[in-house]
Amino acid sequence: MTDRTSACVVTDLDELLEREREALLTGNLETIGRLVDHKESLINDLSVIGAVEASQLAQLNEKVKRNQDLLDHALAGIRSVASRLAAMRRVRLSLDTYDSSGSKRSVTLSKDGSVEKRA
């Protein structure tokens, strides 16, 4: 690769990392998915290049780390929501109570989620 080509790869990867950051901040998972293949291709191109300034690599590395942190936090948020939704489903399907001795007892609700009230 020529120096001009290596500069283009660095610039393209820098711009892609900025687009990825914006997608992560706005929660645009579809865009993130579309950028993955292109990012991998640019990183592979960059690994082939022998003459890239250390300062350019350091800047790209910082952006990759920043985006990875954002992605990790986004995944943690998604896992938290999934866990909360599962807990809400459990609550709709059963009711946990405790008797006078402190033993846990689970009451299964009807399929429509209603509870029969008795006087």
**Token pair 């001009």: residue:** 4
In a domain, 12, yes or no: yes
Q: What is the pLDDT of residues 104-115, one digit of tens each?
A: 888 777 666 566
In a domain, 117, yes or no: no
Count of structural domains, the chain: 1
Q: What is the pLDDT of residues 37-94, one digit of tens each?
A: 999 999 888 888 767 788 888 999 999 999 999 999 999 999 999 999 998 887 777 7
In a domain, 118, yes or no: no
- 51 touches 6 (CB < 8 A): yes
In a domain, 114, yes or no: no
H or E element in which residue 96 lies: strand 94-98
In a domain, 115, yes or no: no
Q: Which domain holds residue 95?
A: 3-108
In a domain, 63, yes or no: yes
**Token pair 């405790």: residue:** 98
Residue 94, C-beta contacts closer than 8 angstroms, at least 6 positions apart? 106, 107, 108, 109
pTM reported for the whole predicted model: 0.69
In a domain, 49, yes or no: yes
Chain centroid, CA 83 distance in Å: 15
In a domain, 29, yes or no: yes
